[in-house]
Structure 1
Amino acid sequence: MNLKLGIFLVGLVCFGSCNEIDPKGDKDVKEFVLNWNSKHTSLKAFDLKHEYLDEAIYYGIELTKEKIQQDKVALFERFPDLKQTIPESSISIEKEGGNFLVLFTRTISYNETEGNYPSFLSVIYKNGNFKIVREGLKLEDSTVNPNPLLFPSKATLKETYAKLPKLYGDFNGDALSDYAVVVLPQPNNNELKANTTPCETGCESRIIFSATTLSPIVIKNTFQGVLENVRDLNGDGADEIAFMSETSKTKTLYVYNATTGTLLTDPIFINTEVHRNLKLIDILKKAGPKKIRITESIQENDVWTLKSRVVEVE
């Protein structure tokens, strides 16, 4: 082989490999999408944030990958039997600038209903990994009207993940500060005046944590209230969290172990028509290692009285 031919062949090999901008092809993109789909289960949804950029466009609104994961986890809390499948034959891939635009149809079944939803992901290959840039629906191709609980609207996402007041603490016990927010439902005016339930959205308040290892806490039949950090009451090294639900005539304090999402004690009821101006410290205080003293309104012989008792907590 002469010198010129050798240089030409080396240059040709380098041009075909060294200068290849994107070594990944449609097959790898398809495998990524199918793997993403396989994580849409109640157990694996907690790992979905790793499939997204740190911030991605999620059904029309920019969210952090942690908030996207929280929304996915909440989906399986609403519909534990939900199943999502993507037939490989429905997947088509186009180039979108430097990204891959993946079009597909997903079949979703839940509560004995089933629907097909034309969808898309915009995927980028970055630092040796695929990441999702955008996720959404191609509604113009669909004859199905999506359930808003399956596919959140832009307005719903904005309302849910707006800058809600943050309650700081160490709710997962890792000795680092994290925070929680509460998302309240929106009852209509007649329901508020009548002080009745359920609300239009089911009267469920949701406590959402910044620490993605903590599952959201759903509090049924509540539509107004505030969060409280009641510190470590059970000695597990993590702060407990409380939600003070309020109506025009009552207050009810729900005290949760944030790491397990379970109540430390039965809800603590206060009749505010009779027992006014009680502060949190009047209702709940630590009484010793793994013990709390609670004070609540009790009705006996048609008379409301305040009674206190000590409760052991785990």
Structure 2
Amino acid sequence: MKAIGFKQSLPITEKESFIEFETEIPSPAGYDLLVKIAAISVNPVDFKIRQSAAKDTILDTPKIIGWDAVGTVEAVGDKTSRFKVGDQVYYAGDITRSGSNAEYQLIDERIVGRKPENLTKAEAAAIPLTGLTAWESLFDRIKVNPKTDKGKTVLILAGAGGVGSIAIQIAKKVAGLTVIATASRPETKDWCKQLGADYVVNHRDLKAELDKIGHGEVDYILDFVDINGYWETIAEIIKPQGHIVSITGSSDPLNLVLLKSKSVSFSWELMYTRSMFTTDDMDKQHHILNNIADLLEDGSLKTTLTTTLEGFTAENLKKAHQMQESGKTIGKTVILF
């Protein structure tokens, strides 16, 4: 099969930042499905892993990354029960295993969902990683209850990004929250509004912007961009007994003492936790993806696809990574095989 990977962590402009090569089609066992991939999407985690995984070494065999895919089940392992050969599926993968930048991939069925029937392959490929991240942030970390928490405020930092774009929709349509998203350019502001944000504010003077719309403090904050850069502001604008969730990691220790007087909760969210540690509830991602598929099919949610690149080539993968590294992308970029 054809695959695309790298042996060194090189700048994306370098010729061998991605290389095409041939390798064996793997065979499924246990809970694994063998999926023939039809489309993939690219996320910030892709370029971050590419930049760091082989920084001071040259790998013997190319590393295959990629954590969003849509495809068809070609074969199944002996412990599988959720899918059969011929099923159309979508998933975000497992960071500890070979990725989706290949024509075929093995994937544990417990983190796989059925492809939404009303979406094209490209439209569906835009959803899994960001959809899972947003859903887990709201319902597993904050534990929002749509009945009792309806109308509470959530601030989404980087509303027009991949995760922000689906989080706006889930927070509004599923959780019933009042959604405030950050965006600064006219096109990103319009995008957030189209997705259902009640308010769009500029991140450059967040406290003043929130005061202007009458929401000087918020119940929940979802950080999808830079927890260090916003930390002191976040501590100021979160309501007493509020909850903050971040996906961005921290280069420096966070001063949690700033949250103490308000009894504020803080959670990290990593979509890969369940698969990395084979948690007891690992199959919850299967159910979340199916729930999201239902919501896409009934029109409650819509795809966040904005750019489609035709053809599974190293050049298209480089182009997609360059777009992600720019920090200017809106929604999701997909490569169609």
TM-score by length of 1: 0.28
Q: Which has the higher strand share?
A: 1
Structure with higher Rg: it is: 1
Q: Which has the higher helix share?
A: 2
